[in-house]
């Protein structure tokens, strides 16, 4: 991409978004490795409308973009990112019967805690998984044999044109740490989880047990992005 084109695109975005568009914003504090250079442009999207507006504005320009969640599954280059980083900070958690509806920028752990508080079971497995709800859907985050796919009912997506629509679980073609979002580039704005009514003490007990197991296995307070290796099926793991 030519420098002039990039500068021109940058100026158009600055004219439109003013102070909300930050130049040369450090990404090191926004990922769990704590490394990496700056984003040439950075925008904190706090609402669905914020995200739609910036996606639509960028659609007409020659500028590369990256959607940042909790930064817990990223290795940011020391050269930084020569484009626009959009941080998903869409918050809000609501209860509707046995369902939780939330902004995709919420920490997954906040949803686990909210579910426990409301005696809803199904999300205990996610105790201690870093990152946002959007990141968990993107990569079908999971642990202890359970994955995001098992509890997600639907999600509101924003496509590259900035159009919003809601898709049900089957759309995401969830697989091991995979979803269709890795090919479509759509962004999760909000999510709905379908859970089961349970007994608060039991749900809390499961979460506590998982937390203790994780703490015993993982280096607590280390700068990491979690596990780097794929769990392969038992059969394939046997030699000879
Ligand atoms: C200590 C530790 C333990 C971990 N344990 C586990 C574990 O047990 N199981 C597990 O599965 N993972 C684990 N992880 C990895 C990480 O927590 C997950 O991959 C998490 O789901 C990433 O979410 P994030 O918001 O941080 O995504 P980011 O790191 O910000 O982004 C990762 C990818 O997701 C995309 N993305 C983020 N938000 C959205 C969105 N709203 N819409 C579309 N795409 C989006 C980004 O563009 C990027 O491509 C662990 C990480 C740490 C640091």
CATH code at 93-217: 3.30.465.10
What percent of the chain has a predicted confidence (pLDDT) above 90? 82
CA–centroid distance, residue 235 to ligand 1 (Å): 28
What integer is the mean pLDDT of 159-179?
97
Q: Which atom of ligand 1 is nearest to the CA of 66?
A: 47
Architecture of 14-88 per CATH?
2-Layer Sandwich (3.30)
| CATH topology agreement for domains 14-88 and 93-217 | no
CA–centroid distance, residue 134 to ligand 1 (Å): 8
The best mutation among 138, 143, 227 to test binding of ligand 1, ranked by most ligand atoms within 8 Å of the C-beta, falls on 138
Number of Cβ within 10 Å of residue 29's Cβ equals 9
Q: pLDDT tens for residues 118-159?
A: 999 999 999 999 999 999 999 999 998 899 999 999 999 999
Do residues 89 and 105 make contact, with C-beta atoms less than 8 angstroms apart?
A: yes
pLDDT for the residue numbered 219: 72
**Is pLDDT at 240 greater than 50 in this prediction?**
no
Structural Rg of the chain based on CA atoms? 19
**Is pLDDT at 228 greater than 70 in this prediction?**
no
Comparing CA positions, the residue from 39, 133, 141 lying closest to residue 86 is 39
CA–centroid distance, residue 130 to ligand 1 (Å): 7
- Where do the domains of the chain lie? 14-88, 93-217
pTM of the complete model: 0.94
Do residues 207 and 116 make contact, with C-beta atoms less than 8 angstroms apart?
A: yes
What integer is the mean pLDDT of 6-23?
90
What integer is the mean pLDDT of 72-90?
96
């Amino acid at each position: 991409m030519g420098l002039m084109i990039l500068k021109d695109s940058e100026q158009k975005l600055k004219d439109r978004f003013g102070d909300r568009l930050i130049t040369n914003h450090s990404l090191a504090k926004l990922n769990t490795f704590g490394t990496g250079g700056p984003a040439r442009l950075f925008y904190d999207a706090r609402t669905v409308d914020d995200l739609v507006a910036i996606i639509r504005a960028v659609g007409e320009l020659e500028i590369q973009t990256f959607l940042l969640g909790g930064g817990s599954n990223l290795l940011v280059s020391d050269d930084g990112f020569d484009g626009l980083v959009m941080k998903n900070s869409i918050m809000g958690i609501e209860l509707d019967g046995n369902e939780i509806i939330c902004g995709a920028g919420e920490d997954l752990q906040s949803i686990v805690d909210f579910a426990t508080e409301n005696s809803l079971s199904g999300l205990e497995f996610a105790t201690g998984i870093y990152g946002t709800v959007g990141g968990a859907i993107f990569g079908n985050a999971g642990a202890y044999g359970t994955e995001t796919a098992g509890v997600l009912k639907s999600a509101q997506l924003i496509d590259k044109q900035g159009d919003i629509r809601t898709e049900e679980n089957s759309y995401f073609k969830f697989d091991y740490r995979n979803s269709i979002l890795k090919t479509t580039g759509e962004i999760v704005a909000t999510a709905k989880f379908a859970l089961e009514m349970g007994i608060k003490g039991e749900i809390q007990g499961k979460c506590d047990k998982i937390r203790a197991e994780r703490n015993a296995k993982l280096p607590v307070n280390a700068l990491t992005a979690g596990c780097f290796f794929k769990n392969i099926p038992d059969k394939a793991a046997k030699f000879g």
